[in-house]
Structure 1
Amino acid sequence: MDLQLKDKFAALWKKYFYNAELPITFYYTDEEGHAELVKPGSVPRCIIGALSSVRKGKSSCFNIESVGCFGGKRYLGFAEKIRPNFEYFLSCGIPGELEGERYKKSPELVKEWIKKAPVFKAPARYAVFKRWDKLEESDAPEVVIFFAQPDVLSGLFTLANFDMAEQNGVIAPMGSGCSTIVQYPYLEKDSGHPRGVIGMFDVSARPYVPENVLTFAVPVNRFTTMVENMEESFLITGSWQAVQKRIKQEKREN
């Protein structure tokens, strides 16, 4: 980890976003000891629920046994297998056998959606999650993840688009909560123009975050550029100062 980048972002975050929640980061490694390994069954099955403690400052390391749900294993790259009858699970279900989530209109539509969905294999045995202020020189974060309220999210969204000519410098793909903070932003790192990813629209994952929070995740190569742009962007204008006041107020009220 570039400790100068760590300190620079921390200072600028406090300057422009006051005490808004710090982001968490994640990366893959085959090395043990970067964080405590999560024991099977010791955290919520949903990876979003399991990350609640990371947001509070407890670093965690996951392997394939740590993750309790099929989706989490798949979207962290630990397994390609989909749960049995997934096309029914995501749509109408099977009467008397399987309750459907009804996120897609039909099993056939789910099958078509799966064909277009990205798949990747984790490059190492462990996925390490750490809050930004807990990073050490030996860490190598690959994705930065914000759990953000609307005003903070607006700042991140605008900053991500600041130096891009295309209309979609940020995307909001349909997917599970964990896919939008791990899989999609991780794959963006190898793009010629890495984009930010807004997520946490997954209805099943919503109970694990506050009602006024979504996520913004971005590969660290793109994040570094965003940090470099902060002090010449809209963040130094009166328009942002008006929003800053609300961010400060929101933090006090919470």
Structure 2
Amino acid sequence: MTVQSAIARAAGFATEPVAIVWTDTKPEGALEFRPGVWGCVMWMYARVAKDKKTAVFTRETIGCIGAALGLGFGRPFERHSAKSEEGFCSFLSNGIEGAQDRAAYTAVVESGRDERNKKVLARGERLLKNPEVAKAFLAALPEYDIKEQYIVMMPLSQVGDGEEVKSVVFLADADQISALSILANYGTGTITERVTVAAGASGCQAIGACVYAEGEGERPRAVIGLTDITARRNVRKMLGKDKLTFAVPYSMFLEMETYVPGSFLESDEWKELIASE
């Protein structure tokens, strides 16, 4: 199966859409974190998008616990430096200040892997107001614990026959986000129902679990992501400062592809817009 995106061609994308696939077959020569080593999954996404590489993840090589939640390897909070779900909620929010058991969480901080990790654990990432809000966030985040061994990111055109694409991810600037948003609503006439922003979700959660869940609904939506400031910092040198992700379930991608012929993407206005960059 070779899929060349009409959207990417017409909208002037410099990078090919990235496909996320669940599989029991490990691709040869794929990028992969070493077992037990921390790493940001969005680094791998950036390599796949920019360099047309393939990246593979297992439960042992997922890079970080947030990515395990985001891509579909359960919720192994005990493997995070915060040690537990309760600790993880303090880590996501206001650290020692909001911890229910401050003494226990202070001990977790003191056992951090290095001084930077200890500092972040102590203060918290401040991405959510307090642990109670963080707990509500985790309850709202779609949960997946897949049966397959591997989660693979690859250029869409490299997806093989029989492989099931769970998410298609565009790396888009503001003009391209505009185009994709219009296409998402093109066949429905709706304004707010077909696109959502993954507010507060990590970069990987916004291209993984949030999109998987949309694909299971009767009216799937596109998910705008890379609003995660940690991920943005991690990929800034590779992707620049002006990009967001726009991810859709595969069925929605195929629908949007059919809208290209005869659409605004063939208009002089659109061609003039992208020519002026």
Fold similarity call, TM over 0.5 = yes
How much is the aligned-residue C-alpha RMSD, in angstroms?
Answer: 2.2
Aligned partners of 1:133 and 1:43: how far apart in 2? Answer: 30
Aligned partners of 1:144 and 1:19: how far apart in 2? Answer: 14
- Give the paired residue count: 241
User: Aligned to 2:74, what secondary structure does the other structure show?
Assistant: coil
Q: 2:164 — aligned with what?
A: 140
Aligned partners of 2:36 and 2:76: how far apart in 1? Answer: 23
Mark the CA change 1:32 to 1:186 in structure 2 (over 3 Å): closer, same or farther: same
CA contact (8 A) 1:45 1:69 kept: yes
CA contact (8 A) 1:76 1:183 kept: yes
Q: 2:254 — aligned with what?
A: 224
Q: 1:52 — aligned with what?
A: 46
How far is 1:135 from its partner? 3.2
CA contact (8 A) 2:94 2:124 kept: yes
Aligned partners of 1:192 and 1:89: how far apart in 2? Answer: 35
Q: 2:100 — aligned with what?
A: none
Match of 1:163 among 187, 210, 213: 187
Mark the CA change 1:19 to 1:101 in structure 2 (over 3 Å): closer, same or farther: closer
Mark the CA change 1:122 to 1:70 in structure 2 (over 3 Å): closer, same or farther: same
Task: Give unpaired runs (5+ residues) of structure 1.
Answer: 250-254
Match of 1:94 among 74, 96, 104: 96
How far is 1:44 from its partner? 6.3
CA contact (8 A) 2:31 2:54 kept: no
How far is 1:35 from its partner? 5.9
Match of 2:133 among 109, 115, 130: 109
Identity of aligned residues (%): 29
Larger Cα-atom Rg: 2
User: Aligned to 1:51, what secondary structure does the other structure show?
Assistant: helix
Q: 1:24 — aligned with what?
A: 18
Aligned partners of 1:109 and 1:93: how far apart in 2? Answer: 13
TM-score normalised by length of structure 2 = 0.79
Aligned partners of 1:19 and 1:189: how far apart in 2? Answer: 24
CA contact (8 A) 1:198 1:214 kept: yes
